[in-house]
C-alpha cells in the first residue's frame, strides 16, 4: 500500500504547554487532528473552569489560519477540588474530563492528589454528571520499581475505583504494560485506555542504546518488549476500548539534555505517521482508522469527524530541532527516517 486515507483523527491525550512554547507546537497537532484533549499540568495547574476557558482561548489563538481545530479541555484534580467545580466543568460545554496526577508522578504533578480517598466526593460528582476521569496510573513510592508502578497502581487503586464508582467513565491514560492491557480488557463497560506511538514502537532498550537517550525518556517510562507487544495487539485489534492518545510532551532541548533531564517525548510533528508505521509493522493498517478516528469519539460520546486526511508512503526525515518559542525542541525520530508522510506541508 502506498497511500492511506482516513477519517480525520483526534488526539485524546496532548500537552501543548503555554505562551511562546504553545504557539510553536499547536500547529503540528492542528494540521493532523480535528480535536485534542489538552492536559492541564501547567504551572500553575488548570484547576478551575475559568482557568480552562482562558487556556482554551490561548490555544485557539495559536491555530493557523484556515485550519479547524477544537481543544477539548480538562481540569487538574487536587486534594482541594470541589464537587461544585466538577458541576461547573460539565456545564461549561468545553471541559470533557478531569485528570488524576498522583503527586510526584510526572511533569508538574507536585500539586496532584496525595491520597485517592481525598477525591472520593469529586469522583462521585463526576459519576453523577458523567465527566470522564482521566488517570495517570502509577504509584510514586520510591520502594516500588519504576517499571512496576503501573501494575501496582492497578492492584492498589485502579481496580477499587472502577468497582466503587460503577458508572464513572475512566480512561487509563498512556497504558504501558501487559497488565494494563489485561486490566482494561477485563474491566466493566466505561473503562478505556489511550496508547502512545512511542510505547507501540519502542521498548525500554531505546533509552539506553549507545548511551543514555534522554529524548526517549518519558513517564510512564518505556517498558519491556512483551509489554510493547501487548500494546500493539490491543491497538491493532478489534477492542474498542483502546484508542489514540499521543501524550506528545514538548520540552526545551536543554531541559532534556542535562544531568536531571525531564520526562516527555515530543511526537506531534509526525504523530499519525508514527502510528501508521506501528500498524503497518503489525500488518494491520486496515485497523488504523478505528483506533485513530472512531473509538475515541465513541468513548467520549462525540460525533466522529467527517473530513479526511491522506498519508503517503513517502519517507521523510524530521529535523534535528524545531523552534520552541525562544528555545529548541528535539522531536521524536529526529534525523531518522519516518516511512509515512501526511499529504500536506510539514511545518518548519
Q: Is 142 annotated as a binding residue?
A: no
Q: Give the closest residue to 145 by CA, choosing from 230, 221, 209.
A: 221
Distance CA 107, CA 111 (A): 11
Contact, 312 vs 346, CB < 8 A?
A: no
Cβ–Cβ under 8 Å, residues 269 and 322: yes
Q: How far is CA 68 from CA 55, 64, 83, 268, 343, in A?
A: 17, 9, 33, 17, 17
Torsion of CA 119, 164, 96, 271, to 10 degrees: 100
Cα–Cα distance list, 157 to 61, 101, 130, 166 (Å): 39, 13, 20, 14
Neighbours of 116 (CB within 10 A): 18
15 known ligand binder? yes
Q: Is 219 annotated as a binding residue?
A: yes
Rg (CA), the chain: 19
Confirm whether 247 is a catalytic residue: yes
100 within 8 A of 133, measured Cβ to Cβ: yes
Does the annotation list 87 as a binding residue?
no
The answer to whether 263 is annotated as binding is yes
Cα separation of 131 and 89, whole Å?
8
Does 13 appear as a known binding residue? yes
Classify 11 as helix, strand or coil: strand
The answer to whether 305 is annotated as binding is no
Which one is catalytic: 11, 227, 239, 247? 247
| Cα separation, 123 vs 168, whole angstroms | 8
Q: Select from 156, 179, 155, 157 the least CA-distant residue to 170.
A: 157
Neighbours of 260 (CB within 10 A): 5
Q: Which three cell numbers stand for residue 341?
A: 508522510
Flag whether 136 is marked binding: yes
Annotated binding site for Zn(2+): 13, 15, 99, 136, 174, 247
Annotated binding site for substrate: 15-17, 41, 136, 219, 251, 263
Annotated binding site: 13, 15-17, 41, 99, 136, 174, 219, 247, 251, 263
Catalogue the active-site residues.
247
Amino acid at each position: 500500500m502506498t497511500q492511506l486515507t482516513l477519517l480525520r483523527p483526534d488526539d485524546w491525550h496532548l500537552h501543548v504547554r503555554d505562551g511562546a512554547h504553545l504557539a510553536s507546537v499547536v500547529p503540528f497537532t492542528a494540521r493532523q487532528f480535528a480535536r485534542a484533549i489538552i492536559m492541564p499540568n501547567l504551572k500553575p495547574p488548570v484547576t478551575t473552569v475559568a482557568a480552562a476557558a482562558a487556556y482554551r482561548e490561548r490555544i485557539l489563538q495559536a491555530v493557523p489560519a484556515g485550519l479547524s481545530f477544537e481543544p477539548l479541555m480538562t481540569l487538574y484534580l487536587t486534594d482541594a477540588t470541589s464537587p461544585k467545580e466538577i458541576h461547573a466543568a460539565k456545564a461549561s460545554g468545553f471541559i470533557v474530563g478531569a485528570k488524576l496526577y498522583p503527586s510526584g508522578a510526572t511533569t508538574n504533578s507536585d500539586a496532584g492528589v496525595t491520597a485517592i480517598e481525598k477525591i472520593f466526593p469529586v469522583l462521585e460528582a463526576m459519576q453523577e454528571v458523567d465527566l470522564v476521569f482521566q488517570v495517570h496510573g502509577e504509584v510514586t513510592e520510591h520502594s516500588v520499581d519504576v517499571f512496576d508502578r503501573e501494575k501496582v497502581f492497578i492492584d492498589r487503586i485502579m481496580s477499587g475505583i472502577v468497582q466503587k464508582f460503577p458508572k464513572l467513565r475512566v480512561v487509563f491514560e498512556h497504558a504501558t504494560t501487559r497488565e494494563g492491557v489485561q486490566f482494561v480488557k477485563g474491566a466493566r463497560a466505561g473503562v478505556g485506555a489511550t496508547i502512545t506511538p512511542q510505547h507501540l514502537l519502542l521498548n525500554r532498550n531505546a533509552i539506553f542504546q549507545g548511551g543514555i537517550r534522554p529524548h526517549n525518556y518519558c513517564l510512564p517510562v518505556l517498558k519491556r518488549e512483551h509489554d510493547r507487544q501487548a500494546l500493539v495487539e490491543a491497538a491493532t485489534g478489534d477492542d474498542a476500548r483502546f484508542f489514540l492518545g499521543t501524550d506528545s510532551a514538548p520540552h526545551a532541548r536543554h531541559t532534556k539534555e542535562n544531568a536531571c533531564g525531564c520526562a516527555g517525548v515530543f511526537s506531534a510533528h509526525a504523530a499519525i505517521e508514527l502510528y501508521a508505521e506501528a500498524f503497518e509493522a503489525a500488518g494491520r493498517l486496515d485497523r488504523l482508522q478505528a483506533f485513530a478516528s472512531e473509538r475515541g469519539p465513541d468513548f467520549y460520546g462525540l460525533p466522529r469527524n467527517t473530513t479526511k486526511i491522506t498519508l503517503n508512503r513517502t519517507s521523510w526525515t524530521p529535523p534535528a530541532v524545531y523552534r520552541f518559542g525562544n528555545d529548541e525542541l528535539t522531536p521524536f525520530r529526529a534525523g531518522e527516517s519516518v516511512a509515512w508522510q501526511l499529504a500536506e506541508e510539514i511545518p518548519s
